[in-house]
Structures are given as C-alpha cells and as structure tokens.
Amino acid sequence: MTIYASDQIHMSIPKAADVLGLGREQVRLVKSDARFRLDVRSLREMIEADMSRGLVPFCVVASAGTVNTGAVDPLAALARVAATYNLWFHVDGAYGALGSLDERKRPLFEGLERADSVSLDPHKWLYAPVDCGCLLFRDPAKARRAFLTDDADYIKVHEEAIDESFAFWDYGIELSRRFRALKIWMMLCYYGTRRIRAAISDDNDLAAYLAERVNLAEEFELLAPVELSICCFRYVPPAVHAALREAEPTERAHLNAELDQLNARIMHRVQRGGRAYLSNVTLNGSYGLRACVVNFRTTRDDIEQALDIVREAAREISEE
C-alpha cells in the first residue's frame, strides 16, 4: 500500500507510515514544481506506474503550507486526482491551513473543503500553548469504524445524550487524555475569529515585508516565493553575487558550497546570540535561513533587527 506526498512534505508523514507498520519506503515522494508545490502531472504518472507494478495506492497527502517555505499544494487538482483513483485525500494543514482565515490568501486553499481529513496544530498558528494538535474528518464515522472496540466493558458508554456519549477513544489510538481543547475554546471565545484573522493577516504581511527587504538588499538573496508567513533567504556577500553571475558551472558549485558553509555559521551564531531566531532550510541544493512569523507580537522593527543581526553575524565571521 502506497502513500503519495510532495518531496517537501513534513517528516511526520514518513514517521506515521512507520508507526502504521507500512514502512517509510511506502511513502512515494513526488517532485515539487518551481514554487515548491506538489507537481500534479508527476503524481498521476507515479500512481499509474505503481499500479502497473502491482502496488496498491491508497492515500494522497497534500500540504496546506509546507514546513520549509509555506507553499500550498494545488489542493483542488489533487482532490480530483484522489477522486479519480479512489484514494484517501489528507491535507497536512498543521502549520498553514489556518492561513485561510486571511481572505487575501483564501484562493490558495481552494479544494481544502474536499479533503477526507485535515490536520491542524493550533499551537503553531493559533497562538496556543503546546501541545494542541487537531484532526478533522469529513466523515467521522469512518474513523470510528477503524478504532471502535467493544472488547473492554469498563469503557462502554451508556449515556444517551450526544455530548455525553461522545468518546474520543473511539476516534483514535489514545485512551486517557487531558482536556486539550479547553485552551482553544477559551481563546476563540475571548478573542473571536475576527481578531485571530487580523493577527494571521499581519503575520503574512510581515513575511512579505521581509521578502521585500531581502530583495532590496545587495547582500541577501530570496530562495523561495513567500505565500504565507515563511520567508527563506540566504546571505550572499556582494562580491560573491557578482562572481556567481560570471562563474562557470564548476566554479559556481564551489561558490555555492562556500555560501552553504557561511550561512550555516551565520544561522548558528544568530541562534546562539539569543536576540533573534532563524532556522535553516535547504532549497534546490542551497542552504538558507528560514524565518517563520507566527507570533502576534512581531513587528516590522523586529524584521529589521533580525536582518541587522544576520549582517552583524556575517561581519563577525568575516573578521575572524
């Protein structure tokens, strides 16, 4: 049984295949396009090739905001592919699905409503404390059929009212559990969707602003389009920028390898400095710096300071 996902998919998907006993080798990674979205034509070709070899496709996993760049896969097109081959259509929206609250971004999420299941992590972009994961089903009865057991008398539910008879253990592997939903319920009641939508929209604006500042600076290079609140870039000394434009392939590869090392040292120094936090990312073979804005307290001044901190780290490294 095979699962299909983009080469940009979160590591939790291969891990889930291991937990299920399928093995991560059954997760078929489909190449992404120039915007780091799952390539639909390649998906169709891979499914057809696998079926001709006797493999049994059963699930397509799309990303509503990849962990690396925040790219949103073409959900509507992928939903059609899943329907054509009668496959379960899961959308990993852990980071990005809540970005659909920003009305300007809503077209990116066309087709999300056709998912059989959607995963969310409110402790990412709903500003909730960890841990707080959420799995939504189009048809909850299918999940209940998979997990329902009548083997244990002591957990039989005898209440008749819907609210009292609902048992989470009938919909997943976990039995005892704490009241994780309380913090989400309280947040929604207190702030409401309007204020949460505004905060998410501001985060998207800040990532776009960071991309603008990167494009205007001669020492930075944007590595991916900004779709949501993630911006990926790298530090490139102006002299190296010029050399890359003129370099032959062998020399270009050498320069890029040196840039990878430089940006890795910058990232390490920035993190250790404690004034800003950037993570790392590798895109098209280039090591870069990844800024993910999911804090409602972040401002444009923070963005400017983060870039200055990167410049400062690069300057210190060059002087060593």
Distance CA 62, CA 6 (A): 7
- pLDDT score, position 146: 85
Alpha helices in 95-233 (DSSP H): 122-125, 140-147, 162-165, 181-216
Q: Which two tokens stand for residue 289?
A: 């710096």
Range 260-276 average pLDDT: 96
H helix count then E strand count, the chain: 10, 10
Range 183-195 average pLDDT: 92
Q: Omega into 131 within 30° of 0, i.e. cis?
A: yes
Domains of the chain: 2-184 (3.40.640.10), 193-319 (3.90.1150.170)
Sheet strand arrangement including 134-137: 27-30, 2-6, 57-63, 88-92, 117-120, 134-137
Could you tell me which residues are beta bridge partners of residue 39? none
Give the DSSP H or E segment for 118.
Answer: strand 117-120
300-319 and 181-216 helices cross at what angle (nearest 10)?
Answer: 60
Distances in whole angstroms, Cα of residue 148 to Cα of each of 88, 139, 165, 172: 20, 15, 13, 9
- pLDDT score, position 77: 98
Is pLDDT of 317 > 90?
Answer: yes
Nearest to 35 by CA among 12, 5, 2, 68: 68
- pLDDT score, position 30: 97
Distance CA 115, CA 144 (A): 17
Residue 23 phi, psi dihedral angles, 5° rounding: 95, 140
- pLDDT score, position 153: 61
Alpha helices in 92-139 (DSSP H): 122-125
End-to-end CA, the chain: 54
Range 201-211 average pLDDT: 98
Structure confidence by residue, pLDDT tens digits, 67-84:
999 999 999 999 999 999
- pLDDT score, position 152: 62
- pLDDT score, position 254: 93
Given a contact cutoff of 8 angstroms between Cβ atoms, the answer to whether 239 and 269 are in contact is no
Distance CA 309, CA 270 (A): 7
Is pLDDT of 58 > 90?
Answer: yes
Sheet strand arrangement including 279-283: 220-222, 230-235, 286-292, 279-283
Please state which of the ranges 51-60, 90-99, 216-225, 238-247 shows the lowest mean pLDDT.
238-247
Structure confidence by residue, pLDDT tens digits, 118-169:
999 998 999 988 888 899 999 988 988 888 776 666 566 665 666 666 778 7
Which of the pair, 242 or 6, is modelled with greater confidence?
6
Is pLDDT of 14 > 60?
Answer: yes
67 secondary structure, DSSP code:
T
**Average confidence score pLDDT of the chain:** 93
Range 295-299 average pLDDT: 95
Three-state DSSP state, 281: strand
- On the 0-12 / 13-18 / 19+ scale of CB atoms within 10 A, 209 is middle
